[in-house]
């Protein structure tokens, strides 16, 4: 099973849940990150193994 997550593509690699994103956590706020202030990007996360990938990318175990 997969779930949607939102990630920072910068040096901190922060990850927030769909719920956190919908509640207003939409951009990186980590001091020192090269993408601070930039919007998180939507990704798909495999609940079984933790693999995070772009929607449409293949994944298998």
Residue 37 falls within a domain, yes or no? yes
pLDDT score at 40: 98
Q: What is the pLDDT of residues 6-43, one digit of tens each?
A: 999 999 999 999 999 999 999 999 999 999 999 999 99
- Residue 58 domain-assigned (yes or no): no
Residue 59 within a domain: no
Per-residue confidence (pLDDT) for residue 48, from 0 to 100 = 95
The residue length of the chain stands at: 61
- Give me the domain span that covers residue 14: 2-53
- The answer to whether residue 1 scores a pLDDT higher than 90 is no
If we measure between CA atoms, which residue out of 5, 57, 31 comes closest to residue 40?
5
Beta-bridged to residue 4, according to DSSP, are 44
How many domains does the chain contain in total? 1
Domain membership of residue 14 (yes or no) is yes
């Amino acid at each position: 099973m997969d779930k949607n997550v939102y990630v920072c593509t910068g040096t901190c690699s922060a990850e927030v849940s769909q719920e956190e994103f919908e509640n207003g956590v939409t951009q990186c706020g980590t001091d020192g990150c090269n993408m601070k202030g930039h919007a998180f990007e939507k990704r798909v996360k495999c609940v079984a193994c933790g693999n995070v990938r772009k929607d449409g990318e293949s994944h298998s175990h």
